[in-house]
Amino acid sequence: MGVFTVVDSKDVERAADTVSVALTVNRRGHHLDLDPRTTMLDALREHLHLTGSKKGCDHGQCGACTVLINGRRINACLTLAVMHEGDEIVTIEGLGAPGSLHLLQAAFVEHDAFQCGYCTPGQICSAVGMLDEAKAGWPSHATADVAVPATTLTDAEIRERMSGNICRCAAYPNIVAAIREVAEGGRR
Amino acid sequence: MRSFTYERATDPRAAMAAVSRTGAKFISGGTNLLDLMKLEIEQPTHLVDISRLPLRAVDELPDGRLHIGAQATNSDVAADGRVRTRYPVLSQALVAGASGQLRNKASVGGNLLQRTRCAYFYDTAASCNKRVPGSGCSAIDGINRFHAILGASDACIATHPSDMAVAMVALDAEIELLGADHATRRVAIRDFHRLPGDTPHVETVLRPGEMITGVILPPPPPGRQVYRKVRDRASYAFALVSVAAIVATERGVVTTARVAFGGVAHKPWRSVEAEAALLGRPATMATYRAAAGAAMAHAVGRGHNDFKIDLAKRTLCRTLTHAALVS
């Protein structure tokens, strides 16, 4: 066995029937005809050529593919595009652009919150979703008493809530600083 | 990933009809199923999307119980005000699991049905009675640090990975099911998951075509609820050992005791032995140690996971101390 796979004739893939899906991506409507196997990440990257969302592990472990769907952060690699008929997707390309950066993008630059940059789009999309979750008072594993409806975003809370985004360059201290600045509503 | 056809169910009855096709499977959040389909460990030929069925709500029932729809996300349940105040152990367990992104997608029903994270189950070059019945178990003589110490068999020593289900077992939750014949039934969560025995590929008492529609929590027992999880990383890792405990005391004596363990068995593990050793006894470390000893009396290590027996005892003592302190 090893790395070689013997392909039996019954295993040969027949072309799957495509499914049509309507998505709104970064406020623009799209109609796609997709093999149902297409993940949201592959639909964004390969079909819509929005390559800001990155493929790291492709198994929901690294967070590089994080996008916002109907305002919530999710792993785009672990969901099928056809399951998102009518949904609103925001990727890093929809958050800001050179010259008009999103607050978090500007804070990441200001705080040198990356080295290679591969995880950064996922980190920023995740942070956008995370700040909304905290604003809504959601508890986390770092919350002392889950029954208390308010949340103070301490460094421990930011680290815990961002644990689904791995940075292999280990820019974590600066990522936390960038997010803290935006959470506090400006520079300190 | 093998190819499959896709269909979105519009109501539960249509979903039941759609899933009766050979090779069909329900998909909800998909965070575990798609992971396994990419590795071709799961190979459904037809997916029935039930994520948009009207089963997302958390509703109060007139008799003080709480009904959680099977399609509610892990995040929604963890953030629900009634869960946070009346069932804090459930909220704590949910936020101890996975990551923010996964909790936003993963459903309550899918959480209950997630498969083990045993590395040999995931490695298609290894033997695994759960993946390929009758092929053997590479874990028993392998690197079994994460594996079961209670209720395992010579066919399988995998653990159930859920945190949520451990809290639900301590809370005496019931699983609400809709059958292929459109009849509903309820199963106590402690009877829902199975021990491996000779058939580790049969993980629950779900019947073919049956769908989880919700989870019902009875009114909470008196006492303080605590979930404690021990893992290799500070966050975003499966439990080596976890404990859900509910403890009430009166004049220093334990009057309510609920104990469940995660990470130790093929199912979330309710320890009636620990509960019996606590009830009516003084809330002291000597009592907690006796309860821990009773809980682990039949524990068996397989080498790399021997440490879990002591770890489970210590985690229970620590959790009980915390729970009894303020109750």
pLDDT tens-digit profile of B205-217? 999 999 999 999 9
Per-residue confidence band for A9, with pLDDT thresholds at 50, 70 and 90: very low
Give the H/E segment covering residue B186: strand B184-188
* Chains A–B, number of C-beta pairs less than 8 Å apart: 122
How far is Cα B247 from Cα B255, in angstroms, rounded to an integer? 7
Q: A116 to chain B nearest CA, in Å?
A: 23
Average pLDDT, chain B: 97
B88 interfacial to chain A (CB closer than 8 Å): yes
Terminal-residue alpha carbon distance, chain A: 59
Q: Is the pLDDT of residue B62 over 60?
A: yes
A20-34, A144-158, A174-188, B121-135: lowest mean pLDDT where?
A174-188
Test B75 with A85 for CB contact under 8 angstroms.
no
Partner residue facing B79 (CB), from A19, A78, A139 = A139
Q: Is the pLDDT of residue A10 over 80?
A: no
Cα atoms found within 13 Å of the Cα of residue A146, Cβ hemisphere only: 29
DSSP B206: P
Q: Is the pLDDT of residue A148 over 90?
A: yes
Residues of chain A with pLDDT > 70, as a percent, come to: 90
Q: Which of B174, B177, B212 is nearest to B191 (CA)?
A: B174
Q: What is the ipTM of this complex?
A: 0.96
B98 interfacial to chain A (CB closer than 8 Å): yes
Q: Which residues in chain A are closer than 8 Å to B47, comparing Cβ atoms?
A: 36, 80
Test B100 with A164 for CB contact under 8 angstroms.
yes
List, for residues B181-197, the tens digit of each pLDDT value: 999 999 999 999 999 99
Q: Which residues in chain B are closer than 8 Å to A84, comparing Cβ atoms?
A: none
How far is Cα A78 from Cα B30, in angstroms, rounded to an integer? 7
Test B100 with A137 for CB contact under 8 angstroms.
no
DSSP A43: I
Partner residue facing B101 (CB), from A59, A63, A145 = A63
Test A78 with B31 for CB contact under 8 angstroms.
yes
pTM of the model: 0.96
List, for residues B68-90, the tens digit of each pLDDT value: 999 999 999 999 999 999 999 99
Q: Is the pLDDT of residue A62 over 50?
A: yes
Q: B34 to chain A nearest CA, in Å?
A: 6
Per-residue confidence band for A108, with pLDDT thresholds at 50, 70 and 90: very high
Q: Which residues in chain A are closer than 8 Å to B125, comparing Cβ atoms?
A: 1-2
Could you tell me where the DSSP H helices lie in A23-171? 40-42, 92-95, 103-110, 120-135, 155-161
Mean pLDDT of all residues in A83-91: 98
How far is Cα A88 from Cα A2, in angstroms, rounded to an integer? 42
